[in-house]
Amino acid sequence: MVNATEPPKGEILVPVMQQGDHSTKMPKHGDSKQTVLEAFGEPLKKVPAVGVPPISRWDYEKFSVYFENNITLHAV
């Protein structure tokens, strides 16, 4: 039975007033992990890859970067 009060697993909810600042410089789609490291330094946290294809996340102070293997998918 599905609990209607809980969001589906794997869905990320960001309250409207807590979305990132659009002026914040972030990695671009297609950047390699090495490019991200050189441009932004070490992340505060590296979340290990899960799934197929493997998706990992690096958390910085003002944004998070999602990778598929070694390539940036999206930064939010």
Beta carbons of 74 and 28 less than 8 angstroms apart: no
Question: What is the rounded end-to-end Cα distance, in angstroms, of the chain?
Answer: 32
Write down the pLDDT at residue 20. 55
**Mean pLDDT for each 10-residue chunk of the chain (76 residues)?**
57 58 86 98 98 97 97 97
pTM of the model: 0.71
Residue 49 exposed, middle or buried by CB count within 10 Å (0-12, 13-18, 19+): middle
